[in-house]
DNA sequence: TAGGCCATCTGGTCCT
DNA sequence: AGGACCAGATGGCCTA
C-alpha cells in the first residue's frame, strides 16, 4: 500500500516495536502520558462507547432520567466491545499514537531546521513555533525586498520587516542578533510605525508591509521602542536612559548567538567579532543564502544560457528550489552552491 | 497563580 | 483497511 512519504522509513515500526513503555504506562497509574483507563479525562479514554468496533447491540430501549423512553437511536447499531475487539482497538490506537508522535517529531525537526536558518538562531533561547514561522515569513519577505527594490540589509527597514508581527522578546532577540548599532538607529522616524514612507532603504525606498493578518498585541506592529530594549543600546534621544528603564521586563538575551547575518557586517565571509559581540559570546560566521544572494547576480553568471527556472516566489514566473541542507548551510562556499545550482538548473 | 508553550492522546476525515 | 493529517482537549513545565 502506498503511504505518504512522511517521516523516516521504519519510524513507526520501530516505535511500535519499542512500545514496551507505552504498554506499561497504560497499566500504570503513574504514567503521566498515557494514564490508566479511568484516570483519563473523558475525551481521552482509549476505549469509548460508540466505537465502530462495537459488537451488535441488543435491542434495548433506553430510558431517560425522568423515566421517559428515549427516542430510538438511528444509524448503525453499536457493537459491544468484546475482549478481542478491545485488544484490537487498543493495538490500533497505540499504533496510531506512535505514528502521530512520530509525525509531530518530524514536524518539530523541520521547525528546528527552520530555526537554524533564521537570522537569530540560538540553542539556548529557542524561538517558539509560532514565532519561528512568523520570523521565517518576515525573513523571506525582507530578503525579497532586498532583491526586488534594493532595500538595504543594513537599514532599519530591513530589521523592521524581520520583526513585523513578532512579540517583543523575539523582536529584541532578532535585533540583538543582528547586532544593531546605535548609528543604525539614529534616524528621526523612530516613533513611526511600520509602513510609513520614509523608513526605507538607503534610496528612501518606501517599504510597504503586507497585511499579515496577525492578531494584535502582543503580536502587533513593531514598535521602535522594541529595538530600544537592546542590551546596551543608546540612541540619540535616549543617551542617558538605562536600557533597563525602557525594558518591559523582558530579560536581556545572554545566550550564545550564531546569527547567519549581521546588520553591521552582513555579508562578510569572515570577520572578527566586535568587542560587543565577543562580550556576548557572539560568533559571526559566513551567512548562507543571503550571502549568496548578495554576492551573486541572479541568475548567476555561471548559469547564463540555462533555461530560466519556473515559479520561485522571489522571482515571479520562475521555479528555483535548493535542497534545504545546501541552500541554508552557512558553511557551503558560494562557488559550490553555484555549481550545485547549475546542476539543478540543467536537470 | 495565571498565562504561554509544548507534548501527547484522541476521534474524525480524507486519501491511497 | 490503514495511514496521514487535523483540530480539540488536557496536563506538565516554566516564568513573570
pLDDT tens-digit readout, A183-210: 333 222 322 333 322 233 333 333 333 3
The arithmetic mean of pLDDT across residues A338-345, rounded, is 36
Residue A247 makes CB contacts below 8 A (sequence gap 6+) with: A229
* Gap from A41 CA to C11 C1', Å: 10
Identify the pLDDT of residue A171. Answer: 83
* Gap from A307 CA to C12 C1', Å: 54
Q: Within 7 Å: CB of A10 and strand C?
A: no
Alpha helices by DSSP H, chain A: 11-17, 20-27, 83-116, 129-149, 156-163, 168-177, 182-185, 224-227, 275-279, 289-295, 324-327, 334-346
Binned at pLDDT 50, 70 and 90, residue A119 comes out as confident
* Gap from A6 CA to B16 C1', Å: 14
With distances taken from each CA to the C1' atom of nucleotide C8, the closest residue turns out to be A43
Q: Within 7 Å: CB of A90 and strand B?
A: no
* Gap from A128 CA to B4 C1', Å: 10
CA distances from A15 to A8, A24, A87, A91, A101 (A): 11, 14, 18, 13, 9
Q: Are A131 and A139 in contact (CB under 8 A)?
A: no
Identify the pLDDT of residue A147. Answer: 92
Q: Whole-model pTM?
A: 0.48
Identify the pLDDT of residue A180. Answer: 61
More confident residue, A67 or A157: A157
Identify the pLDDT of residue A79. Answer: 60
Q: Within 7 Å: CB of A33 and strand B?
A: yes
State how far Cα A71 lies from the chain centre. 50
Q: Are A313 and A144 in contact (CB under 8 A)?
A: yes
* Gap from A121 CA to C13 C1', Å: 23
Q: Within 7 Å: CB of A131 and strand B?
A: yes
> Tens of pLDDT along A217-270?
333 333 333 333 333 333 223 223 332 323 332 333 333 333 333 332 222 222
> Tens of pLDDT along A45-88?
333 333 333 333 333 333 333 333 434 444 445 566 677 877 88
Q: Within 7 Å: CB of A94 and strand C?
A: no
Q: Within 7 Å: CB of A29 and strand C?
A: no
Binned at pLDDT 50, 70 and 90, residue A92 comes out as confident
Q: Within 7 Å: CB of A287 and strand B?
A: no
Q: Residue A16 has which C-alpha cell?
A: 511500535
* Gap from A282 CA to C16 C1', Å: 27
Q: Within 7 Å: CB of A123 and strand B?
A: no
Q: Within 7 Å: CB of A97 and strand B?
A: yes
Instruction: State the helix-helix crossing angle for A168-177 and A156-163, rounded to 10 degrees.
Output: 140
* Gap from A107 CA to B12 C1', Å: 21
Chain B nucleotides close to protein (CB under 7 A) are 4-12, 16
- A103 closest-nt by C1' vs CA: C4
With distances taken from each CA to the C1' atom of nucleotide C2, the closest residue turns out to be A1
- A16 closest-nt by C1' vs CA: C3
* Gap from A249 CA to C15 C1', Å: 11
Who among residues 244-273 of A has its Cβ near strand C, under 7 Å?
249, 251
* Gap from A39 CA to C2 C1', Å: 29
* Gap from A25 CA to C11 C1', Å: 16
Q: Within 7 Å: CB of A96 and strand C?
A: yes
Identify the pLDDT of residue A80. Answer: 65
CA-atom Rg of chain A in angstroms:
28
Binned at pLDDT 50, 70 and 90, residue A163 comes out as confident
What is the percentage of chain A residues whose pLDDT exceeds 90?
3
Amino acid at each position: 500500500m502506498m503511504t505518504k512519504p512522511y517521516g523516516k522509513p521504519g519510524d513507526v515500526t520501530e516505535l511500535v516495536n519499542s512500545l514496551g513503555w507505552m504498554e506499561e504506562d497504560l497499566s500504570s497509574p503513574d504514567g503521566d502520558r498515557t494514564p490508566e483507563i479511568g484516570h483519563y479525562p473523558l475525551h481521552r479514554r482509549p476505549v469509548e462507547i460508540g466505537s465502530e468496533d462495537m459488537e451488535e447491540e441488543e435491542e434495548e430501549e433506553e430510558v431517560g432520567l425522568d423515566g421517559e423512553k428515549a427516542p430510538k437511536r438511528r444509524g448503525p447499531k453499536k457493537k459491544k466491545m468484546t475482549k478481542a475487539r478491545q485488544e484490537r482497538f487498543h493495538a490500533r490506537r497505540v499504533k496510531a499514537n506512535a505514528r502521530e508522535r512520530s509525525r509531530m517529531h518530524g514536524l518539530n525537526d523541520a521547525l528546528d531546521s527552520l530555526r537554524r536558518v533564521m537570522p537569530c538562531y540560538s540553542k539556548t533561547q529557542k524561538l517558539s513555533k509560532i514565532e519561528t514561522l512568523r520570523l521565517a515569513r518576515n525573513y523571506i519577505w525582507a530578503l525579497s525586498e532586498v532583491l526586488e527594490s534594493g532595500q538595504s540589509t543594513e537599514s532599519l527597514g530591513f530589521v523592521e520587516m524581520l520583526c513585523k508581527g513578532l512579540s517583543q522578546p523575539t523582536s529584541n532577540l532578532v535585533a540583538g542578533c543582528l547586532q544593531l548599532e546605535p548609528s543604525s538607529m539614529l534616524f528621526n522616524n523612530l516613533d513611526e510605525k511600520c509602513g510609513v514612507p520614509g523608513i526605507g532603504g538607503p534610496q528612501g525606498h518606501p517599504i510597504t508591509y503586507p497585511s499579515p493578518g496577525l492578531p494584535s498585541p502582543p503580536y502587533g506592529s513593531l514598535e521602535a521602542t522594541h529595538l530600544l530594549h537592546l542590551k546596551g543600546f543608546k540612541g540619540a534621544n535616549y543617551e542617558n536612559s538605562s536600557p533597563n528603564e525602557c525594558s518591559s521586563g523582558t530579560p536581556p538575551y545572554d545566550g550564545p548567538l550564531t546569527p547567519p547575518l549581521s546588520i553591521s557586517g552582513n555579508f562578510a565571509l569572515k570577520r572578527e567579532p566586535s568587542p560587543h559581540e565577543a562580550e556576548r559570546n557572539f560568533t559571526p560566521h559566513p551567512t548562507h543564502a543571503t550571502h549568496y544572494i548578495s554576492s551573486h547576480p541572479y541568475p548567476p553568471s555561471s548559469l547564463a544560457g540555462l533555461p530560466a527556472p519556473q515559479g520561485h516566489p522571489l522571482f515571479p514566473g520562475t521555479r528555483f528550489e535548493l535542497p534545504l541542507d545546501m541552500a541554508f548551510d552557512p558553511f557551503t562556499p558560494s562557488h559550490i552552491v553555484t555549481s550545485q545550482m547549475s546542476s539543478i538548473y540543467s536537470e
